[in-house]
Chain A
Amino acid sequence: MSEIKVKVGMASCGVAAGASEVYDVLTRYQKESGGFDLGSTACIGMCFEEPIVEFSGGSLGSVSLGAVDPAKIEEHLKDYLDNKLPDANIIQADKHNGKHNELLAGQTRIVLRNCGVIDPKSIEDYEAHGGYTALKKALAMDPDEIIDEVKASGLRGRGGAGFSTGLKWSFAARAKGKKKYVICNADEGDPGAFMDRSTLEGDPHNVIEGMIIGAYAMGADEGYIYCRAEYPMAIRHLLIAIEKAEEKGYLGKKILGTDFSFELHVKEGAGAFVCGEETALMQSIEGKRGMPTIRPPFPAESGLWGCPTNINNVETWANITYIINQGSVEFRKIGTDKSPGTKVFALAGKIAGSGLIEVPMGIELRDIIYKVGGGMKTDKPFKAVQMGGPSGGCIPASLLDTIVDYDSINATGAIMGSGGMVVMDSGTCMVDVARFFLHFTQSESCGKCTFCRIGTRRMLEILTRITEGKGEPEDIDKLEDLAANIIKGSLCGLGQTAPNPVLTTLRYFRDEYLAHIEAKRCPAGVCNSLLRYEVIPDKCVGCTACARKCPVSCISGKVKEVHYIDQEECIRCGACYSACKFGAINKG
Chain B
Amino acid sequence: MEQDFSPLAESIKRYRGKPGILIPLLQEVQQIMGYLSIDTMAHLSRELDIPAAEIYGVATFYSMFKLKPQGKHIIRICKGTACHVSDADGIKDALKSSLGLEGEEDTTKDMLFTLMEVACLGCCSLAPVIMIDDTTYGKLSPDGIPKILERYAYEEGK
Contact = CB atoms under 8 A, between A and B. Distances in A.
Contacts of A47: 123-126
Contact of B27 (A12, A268, A349, A386): A268
A289 B57 contact: yes
A424 interface: yes
Interface string B31-68: 00000000000000000000000100110011111000
A354 B127 CA distance: 10
A293 interface: no
A271 B63 contact: yes
Interface string B83-113: 1111000000000000000000000000000
A288 B22 contact: yes
A348 B127 contact: yes
A270 B125 contact: no
A270 B138 contact: no
Contact of A428 (B80, B85, B123, B138): B85
A191 B80 contact: yes
A272 B64 CA distance: 8
A299 interface: no
A346 B118 contact: no
B153 to A, nearest CB: 22
B24 interface: yes
Contact of A287 (B58, B82, B125): B58
A80 interface: no
B24 A420 contact: no
Nearest to A201: B122
Interface string B107-149: 0000000000011111111110100001011100000000000
Contact of A271 (B62, B121, B125, B126): B62
Nearest to B62: A270
A305 B136 CA distance: 38
Contact of A349 (B54, B62, B85, B118): B85
Most buried by A among B23, B129, B138: B23
A349 B82 contact: yes
Interface string A442-459: 001010000000000000
Interface in B14-32: 19-24, 26-27
Of the four ranges (under 10, 10 to 19, 20 to 34, 35 or more), the interface on chain B belongs to: 35 or more
A194 B61 contact: no
A273 B86 CA distance: 22
B11 interface: no
B81 A17 contact: no
A232 interface: yes
Contact of A12 (B80, B81, B84, B122): B122
Interface residues of A, number: 52
Contacts of A231: 122
B22 A192 contact: no
A420 B120 CA distance: 11
B82 A348 contact: yes
A305 B120 CA distance: 30
A193 B62 contact: no
B119 A273 contact: yes
A229 B62 CA distance: 11
Contacts of B22: 287-288
A194 B54 CA distance: 33
Contact of A422 (B58, B81, B134): B81
Interface string A435-446: 011001000101
Contacts of B21: 287
Contacts of A422: 81-82, 85, 124
Contact of B84 (A269, A287, A436, A446): A436
B81 A270 contact: no
Contact of B19 (A268, A289, A305, A346): A305
Interface of B: 19-24, 26-27, 54, 57-58, 61-65, 79-86, 118-127, 129, 134, 136-138
Interface of A: 12-13, 15-17, 47-48, 50, 188-194, 197, 229-232, 268-273, 284-290, 305, 346, 348-350, 354-355, 386, 389, 420, 422, 424, 428, 433, 436-437, 440, 444, 446
Given A270-B63, A287-B21, A422-B81, 15 more contacts: A47-B123, A47-B125, A48-B125, A189-B120, A191-B79, A271-B63, A287-B19, A287-B20, A348-B81, A348-B125, A349-B81, A350-B85, A354-B82, A420-B81, A422-B82
20 contacts: A13-B122, A190-B120, A191-B83, A191-B84, A192-B81, A192-B82, A194-B120, A229-B27, A230-B122, A286-B19, A287-B19, A305-B19, A348-B82, A348-B124, A349-B81, A349-B82, A422-B124, A437-B81, A440-B119, A444-B119
